[in-house]
Chains A and B, each alone.
Chain A
Amino acid sequence: MTDVIITAALVVAGIGLACSLLLVLASHFMGVKVNPVEGEVRDCLPGANCGACGFSGCDAYAKALAENPETPANLCRPGGESTTKAICEILGVEAEAAEPVVAFVHCGGDCNKQVYKEIYQGLNSCAAAKMLYGGKGSCLYGCLGCGDCATVCDNDAICIVNGVAKVDPRKCAGCGLCVAKCPNHLISIVPKAEKAVITCSNHEKGAVVRKECQNGCIGCMKCQKNCPAEAIKVENFLATVDYEKCIGCGKCVSDCPVGCLEMLKA
């Protein structure tokens, strides 16, 4: 009886020992040296692999940070300030404050303002809705309101209010997943600061826009003329704000005849 137990134990122990020896030798002779800094940096990153930093995932960003000292440490948007601080501590460099950013939906054509041309009852997806005559709204540039962006958001920062997607700046991590998802390319990443933002993306001429949506930018150039910082430019009948120049005075918001400019609530 004892013999059986001893033989069994010896055999299993022997195989285990052989396996561990194999692995020890393998990692000793064939191991690839990983920069220890890279591993530490990788542990700091949130692991969302969102690609907002411009690298193909958290691993690639950690590698770039460890190998190239000129890589900025403040690129991780989901991680935010705390991550930047942690990375800087590991790399031993001064922390540069990351500019906080949020996503913003450039459409304000909610169901009170937009003129609808059809009643859409299909699959609840913007991509599908767009395939049917460009969506239910008469404005072909506007929010389709089916919430593809809200579905893709990891932080529940987007919800559909009155038929138009709205981003909650307090929840938004600025990762940009929604930017890529919107079939009408309505969402962009803007600085999280008290600055003017345009809530329209329609490039049609003023008269056409008026028929489609009461919120639409008619390209009257009033904001461009009156902006003290020359931060607004009207191109193709649509105002665009240069966030670096905008001083957040709010003059354009009160001037706009259709009310398609608003101040970002930071």
Chain B
Amino acid sequence: MKELIVILMSAVLVDNYVLNKFLGICPFLGVSKKSDQAVGMGVSVIFVMLVATAATWPIQTYLLNPNGLGYLQTIVFILVIAALVQFVEIFLKKFIPALHKSLGVYLPLITTNCAVLGVTINNITDEYNFIQSMVSSLGCGLGFLLAMWLFAGVRNRLEESDAPECFKGMPITLVAASIVSVAFMGFGGIIDKLFA
């Protein structure tokens, strides 16, 4: 149990996918203008990460590894995740239209999101078992949501700040993103100390 909590907490804070591993930067910069959109995107990512891990872990363990095809990981995972997201979209549209309406626009965006692919591949490289993989995916998703939500707040303040003309728009956003990222570096080592 303690091990799972360590995995979860380190995925959220220390090894934050956006701010520490720099995966999923595209939605991080693209959809973080308003906090409600950022949260919508974050929740969708959590959902897709969990579903993707639930599908790719068995494929890797029971199909690719026994046949010595571990090197096909990337291409197979992309294929499976893309198909899965499409399936989830169809499913939501039919059975939970309300959820589809709020998540719908983000789902196709996530199909080719490197954070999702990164989580599934890292779960394999870290040699997690199925439960650990799921917990780690949940943690990464939560970390993504946290980063998105925090950064949406930062951008809100940026809009009202009087940045130098040449920095306006994307440059100042990137500067702010790097500062938030540096702030997250402060979490490094916190997990070892907490659960030592």
Contacts and interface: CB of A to CB of B under 8 A. Distances in A.
A39 B49 CA distance: 31
Contacts, number: 48
A148 to B, nearest CB: 13
How many residues of A sit at the interface, in one of the four size bands? 10 to 19
Contact of A11 (B63, B90, B95, B160): B63
Interface stretch (A13-21, A106-114, A154-162, A189-197): A13-21
B83 A22 contact: yes
Given A11-B67, A12-B72, A31 B79 contact: no
Contacts of B94: 30-32
B32 to A, nearest CB: 20
A38 to B, nearest CB: 14
Secondary structure of the B contact surface, majority rule: helix
A139 to B, nearest CB: 26
B162 interface: yes
Contact of B80 (A19, A31, A123): A19
B83 A23 contact: yes
Given A27-B90, A30-B91, A19 B83 contact: yes
Given A12-B75, A19-B79, A23-B83, 10 more contacts: A8-B72, A11-B63, A12-B72, A12-B76, A19-B84, A23-B86, A23-B87, A31-B90, A32-B93, A123-B160
15 contacts: A8-B72, A11-B63, A11-B67, A11-B69, A12-B75, A12-B76, A15-B63, A19-B80, A22-B83, A26-B87, A27-B90, A30-B90, A30-B91, A30-B94, A31-B94
